[in-house]
Structure formats: C-alpha cells, structure tokens
Amino acid sequence: MAPMHKEQSNGAVKIQGVKMGLNMGTHNEAWVVGAAHGRFIFDMRDSRTGEQLAYFERDNVLTLDCGILAARLFRNSLDPVAGTSASKGITHLDIGTGATGNLLSPDAPQLEQRKLNTRLARKAVTTQFRNNAGIAVSYPTHIVDFTTTYSESEANGPLNEMGLVSAYNAAGFNDINNGAGTVNPYDATIDVLAKDLLVNYLTFGTIVKAPTAILSISWRLSF
C-alpha cells in the first residue's frame, strides 16, 4: 500500500493520497506479468482562467478482468464477433463517487473490482502509442495512452474512483455484478461475452469537480 502524503494543491483542493492494492493471496491466477502496469495523470483546471485546481500522477495495477480481455484479444481480435468488447479493446473511462473508506483516504482498489461502485459519468477515450521516452509515435509499441476530457457540464460532483472500460456497446451499461465492491465474490466462470470489462480501477481522496472546471485524464498502460 502506498504511503499517504499531500500532493500538489491550489486553492481549497487538496489531494491527500491514493491507495493501491495487489491482493495475490486470493487469486493466484492474477495475470500481472512482469512490468505490466498503468499510470494515470489527473489534471483539473478552471475553464475560465485556466488555473490548475488539482493535479497528480500515480502508478497502479491492472484488474483480473484486464487479463480476460487481453487473452481474448491475443486469441483473436475479432473473437467472438465484431463489434463486441473483444474487438474494441479499451473504449471508455468511467469516473464516479463510490470509493469506500475514509473520504480523504479511501480503501485500496482490489484486483477483483469489476465495475465502479457508483458511476457518475462514462466517456470515450482517444488513444496514442508512445516510445520508451514517452514521445508520441505512429507505429505500434508496448506503451499506449488512453485520454479523455470531461467538460464543464460533465462528471460534476465529489469524485473518488475511476477506471478504464472495454464497453460491450456505447448505448448502455452492461456491468458485471460480482467481485470487489459487491456482496458477491469474484466469479471467473461467468460468461462475459455481453459484459463491460473493467480493465483498471483506482481510488483517490475526494476531489469536487464544479461546473466551472474541465477535467483531463490520461491513463498510460505499459506491457
């Protein structure tokens, strides 16, 4: 678990810390291989003045369902049918208000998380390959950025959880209702064909996004 400490803060917003968890005791089949990991950048600014209201970066781990998505893509990028989550990869970023635990120091995320506890908004991401120096390139590499921006009218509220999602379709939500954050334990035997897969999950000290703020989030996955 990462130590708690104060991050950069302007005005009344204070980031007290982010917890990360890797529970290998429950699921020895967790797919965390070598250096596979994620890193995100949270940047919130005033839409009128451009003043930076909150900014922080953190490393984190991938969920068990990320392994399911990866296995399906490795097997066949069109499996089982074009247009499903298997052929789309990561499509959206969910952000929400449902992290459990202390307001400024929520419980650490678990690998078994399969959806946000309380989703506030979902938005499509854009993607960009990068080389080892972090420079954007036009050819495939083992590093890819997923980026989205929530405007003044989007995702307003006390934010404290988020995650990348491979959405089954863009028209609705197809959550898996077991795993961390639910009353039912993680079940690896269910058919996830027509389900949304949560690839990465993060909790952080509550940050209030007001209607005057713009929030940009970049999530970098390295394999």
**Model pLDDT for residues 171-215, shown as the tens digit of each residue:** 789 999 999 888 899 999 999 988 999 999 999 999 999 999 999
Mean pLDDT of all residues belonging to the chain: 83
pLDDT range class, residue 38, cuts 50, 70, 90 = confident
Q: Phi and psi (nearest 5°) for 68?
A: -65, -45
Contact between residue 80 and residue 33 where contact means Cβ atoms under 8 Å apart: no
Of 92, 88, 69, 91, nearest to 78 by C-alpha is 88
C-alpha dihedral, 93 to 42 to 179 to 158, nearest 10°? -100
Burial-class residue 80 by CB neighbours within 10 Å (0-12, 13-18, 19+): exposed
Look at residue 37 and tell me whether its pLDDT is greater than 90: no
Please give the model's pTM, rounded to 2 decimal places. 0.82
pLDDT attached to residue 7: 46
Q: What is the pLDDT of residue 84?
A: 59
pLDDT confidence of residue 18:
36
Q: Please, how many CA atoms are within 13 Å of residue 63, restricted to the half-sphere of its CB?
A: 27
Residue 106 banded pLDDT, cuts 50, 70, 90: very high
State yes or no: pLDDT of 26 exceeds 90.
no
For 144-175, the pLDDT digits (tens) are 999 999 999 999 999 999 999 999 887 789 99
